[in-house]
Structure 1
Amino acid sequence: MDGTAPGEAAAAAPGTEAAGGGARRRRSGLRRLAVLVLVLLLLCFPPWWTLFAGGAGWPFPVFLAGTVVLAGWMVSFPFLMIAGHGPRRSDRAARIADTSLGVIWVLFTWSVLGGVADLALAGFDVGGTGRARTVAVVVAAVSAGLLGWGHHEAMRVPRVRRLDVHVPRLGGGLDGTRVVVLADTHYGPIDRAHWSARVAEAVNALDADVVVHAGDIADGTPAQRREQSAPLGTIRSRLAKVYVTGNHEYGGEAQGWLDRMAELGWEPLHNRHVVVERGGDALVLAGVDDVTAEHSGLAGHRANLAGALAGADPADPVLLVAHQPKYVPQAAAAGIDLQVSGHTHGGQIWPFNFLVRIDQPVVRGLSRHGERTQLYTSRGTGFWGPPFRVFAPSEITLLTLRSGAGPAAG
């Protein structure tokens, strides 16, 4: 025996447990910090090497300035992200953090490609002593051009993408139903109230029967983004305007956004459905909460397809709105006719689309899943975070529903 009385051991145990918990939290925090530093180093090393250090032979002041700028970004970026997207929600800090992250991502991508090109040219003994400098200049020029063009694409009113979707169970009275899809407007730190008004005008010009917002309205609370979201209240439709939550609503008062959309005249499909009719035929418009909702801690928030379809006539075709494409296995199992989703942004900044594909079954467009279910994945109407879209243009989608089988979805 060690001489410690049972009472002393019992009294010491809570303190020992607390100390152990504190040590685990410190280790966890250190691991997260190490991962963050590693990611930032991986993002910054290729631009630093390709543009400044890899044999380009720039004068020392140029090398020093490039090194200081990249090192300064690495140090400041975590603090800007916390200030911009943490409890303080400083829009100015968020704008700087998000924009700089987009710049670094593009520089990283094209610096890696430039480095590969440099190695290939060296293997063929092409370019001589000035090759590295030429590669650095080309990488910088391509990156700057893509960032300028990508910013224009992100800030412009999206082009309209038109597509006929054949729904075999759709009755003839609803043949030609025009469904306009918005998704991922992401009203945020950059004030886009004017852009939002122009999007609403573009939607109204399409003379929609049904308008769908497939989630991720904003980054922030309804109060913060009230002016930017206000134009959604001017959107018109003949039969219905429906909305479901996206994952970003669960970082900014999801129930508040459901209430805000109802205030603006939209029908929030919070695990429920509405039925629209024309010419004696009916279409069920159902919606489910985002798949992340069950982890939000909000009572009654989770993706509940059975609840959304409760009371619907099983003979009627169903258009399901679910924010993330990866909900489609549940939709297919339930015999849904058409699922409409967003979330992916089409990748937003190439080649991020390849990473999105790891998490989602589809990145964009119309696809078929099982015998009955089709999925349309929008590239999104706005943008998230970095105000750039590179090889992933935004869209307002006009789906014209056709009765009958038609051509198979790809």
Structure 2
Amino acid sequence: MSLFLLSFFLIYGSLHAYVFFKAKEAMAFGNAMAAMMVVFFVIMVISPVLVRVTELHGMHPTASVIAHISYTWMGFLFLFFSASIAVKLYNLLLIVAGKLFDRGFSDFALQAVPGFYLPLLIAAVISMYGFFEARHIKAERITITSPKMPVAVKKLVVVQISDLHLGVMVGKDRLTKVLELVKAEDPDMVVSTGDLLDSQLDGLGVMVPLLQELKPPLGKFAVTGNHEVYAGLQQALSFMEKADFKILRHETAAVAGLLDLVGVDDPASLRDSRKKAPAETDLLAGLSRNRFTLLLKHRPVIEPASLGLFDLQLSGHVHKGQIFPFNLLTHLFYPVKMGLSRHPNNSSLYVSRGTGTWGPPIRFLAPPEITVITIIPAR
């Protein structure tokens, strides 16, 4: 945690320093304005810690105000930085073009003032758009045809939610909207592939009855994500159990003789565990190859030895970057295709963009989703 905080403050602080000097170059403000900006920037850098501290002390309204201001600023800052880099690349391209064609293109370059205000405008416009995109939840639909599904079953509908991040930023109103969308699909089963929760749970008791109202006939199942650990694993597990989720922690479950479910813990929840979890491949190998096997796993990582032992893996975690172009960075760590992808030995992977938001209440080119998976027998 110390290393994480040190890295966070170093990177986030450097971003603020970059913006400060860009603003000073463009606006040439005096010492008083500089001092006010420095104070604001310092508060924004330490604000995630302030949110956590106020939550721990039960100051939920204060935590919510700080979080909404500081995390919105975080998204805006990232967009400004990205747009500024795009401007620098544009100016560099003009220099390269001038050398290649032996012509001067310097008149088209964006100097200090427009090079500051244009990214500022782009960041502001995208932030406003992204605020509304984050609230426009889509129902993504996929159909899986399998010879393992009993012919007598016309179809089996599974709805996946992932990365809802209930907490100080995503509250009762958003959950209500998500549940309305899920209920409208009339699913046979609902699964949560991690990060249902985000933060301290003291103020989330009001969410439990809402989740209890969701009663698909074949049940609700969940696996842990890394944020359940950050929220406090035992409290998070208790919350999910009260909400009537059956939590699969390196466990299997047979569902009405139709399919087998396998759920594995997120690696974050295993680090402090004294009990060694069974290997994913061992869980899968013990199941019948004649029944459809659905693997729930928070992070979109496929174990090569598991290929052929499951039919469909459902994952989340990456949010498709949440704010473009952050997806370019997440793809370095998780180089998988978003949505449905086919893999060797008749195994498939579906990676959800996530249902909620983490940090900034903004999404850009990565709209939130619930996923409707319809499994039908091969005729």
Shorter-chain TM-score range = 0.7 to 0.9
Question: How far off is 1:301 after superposition?
Answer: 7.4
After TM superposition, the structure 1 = structure 2 runs for residues 9-408 of structure 1, keeping only pairs within 5 Å, are 35=7, 38-53=10-25, 56=26, 58=27, 60=29, 65=33, 67-68=34-35, 71-85=38-52, 89=56, 91-92=63-64, 93-121=66-94, 124-127=105-108, 131-154=111-134, 156-190=135-169, 192-277=171-256, 282-295=258-271, 297-300=272-275, 302=277, 304-305=279-280, 308-309=283-284, 312-329=287-304, 331-332=306-307, 335-362=309-336, 364-404=338-378
Give the partner amino acid of 2:183.
N
Give the partner amino acid of 1:341.
S
* Distance in 2, Cα, partners of 1:301 & 1:88: 32
Contact 1:161–1:395 (CA under 8 A) maintained in structure 2: yes
* Distance in 2, Cα, partners of 1:236 & 1:32: 39
Distance verdict in 2 for CA 1:37–1:83, change over 3 Å = closer
1:24 corresponds to which residue?
none
1:8 corresponds to which residue?
none
Give the partner amino acid of 2:267.
V
Structure 1's unaligned 5+ residue stretches are 1-27, 406-410
* Distance in 2, Cα, partners of 1:69 & 1:302: 52
Q: Write the deviation string for residues 321-380 of structure 1: whole angstroms up to 9, x where unpaired.
A: 111111443532x61111001111111111111111122232521112322211100000
Contact 2:284–2:309 (CA under 8 A) maintained in structure 1: no
Question: How far off is 1:309 after superposition?
Answer: 4.8
Question: How far off is 1:396 after superposition?
Answer: 0.9
Distance verdict in 2 for CA 1:302–1:211, change over 3 Å = same
* Distance in 2, Cα, partners of 1:111 & 1:335: 47
Distance verdict in 2 for CA 1:175–1:352, change over 3 Å = farther
**Which of the pair has more CA radius of gyration?**
1
User: What secondary structure is seen at the aligned counterpart in 1 of 2:90?
Assistant: helix
1:408 corresponds to which residue?
none
Contact 1:289–1:304 (CA under 8 A) maintained in structure 2: no
Distance verdict in 2 for CA 1:39–1:70, change over 3 Å = farther
User: What secondary structure is seen at the aligned counterpart in 1 of 2:367?
Assistant: coil
Q: Write the deviation string for residues 1-39 of structure 1: whole angstroms up to 9, x where unpaired.
A: xxxxxxxxxxxxxxxxxxxxxxxxxxx97x988755642
**Comparing 352-361 with 239-248, which one deviates more in the overlay?**
352-361
Percentage of pairs with the same residue: 29
* Distance in 2, Cα, partners of 1:32 & 1:325: 22
Query: Which structure is richer in relative contact order (CA contacts within 8 A, separation 6 or more)?
Result: 2
Number of equivalent positions = 365
* Distance in 1, Cα, partners of 2:71 & 2:146: 40
* Distance in 1, Cα, partners of 2:182 & 2:81: 37
Q: Write the deviation string for residues 98-127 of structure 1: whole angstroms up to 9, x where unpaired.
A: 332222111111111122224445751224
Q: Write the deviation string for residues 224-245 of structure 1: whole angstroms up to 9, x where unpaired.
A: 3222454222223232211111
Distance verdict in 2 for CA 1:259–1:59, change over 3 Å = closer
User: What secondary structure is seen at the aligned counterpart in 2 of 1:178?
Assistant: strand
Question: How far off is 1:219 after superposition?
Answer: 1.5
**Comparing 163-172 with 313-322, which one deviates more in the overlay?**
163-172
Contact 2:9–2:45 (CA under 8 A) maintained in structure 1: no
* Distance in 2, Cα, partners of 1:283 & 1:114: 52
* Distance in 1, Cα, partners of 2:309 & 2:146: 12
Structure 2's unaligned 5+ residue stretches are 99-104
* Distance in 2, Cα, partners of 1:303 & 1:375: 22
Distance verdict in 2 for CA 1:255–1:37, change over 3 Å = closer
1:5 corresponds to which residue?
none
* Distance in 1, Cα, partners of 2:32 & 2:87: 21
Give the partner amino acid of 2:80.
L
Contact 1:184–1:215 (CA under 8 A) maintained in structure 2: yes
Question: How far off is 1:306 after superposition?
Answer: 5.4
* Distance in 2, Cα, partners of 1:373 & 1:191: 33
User: What secondary structure is seen at the aligned counterpart in 2 of 1:126?
Assistant: helix
Distance verdict in 2 for CA 1:44–1:373, change over 3 Å = same
TM-score computed with the length of structure 1 as normaliser: 0.79
Contact 2:138–2:370 (CA under 8 A) maintained in structure 1: yes
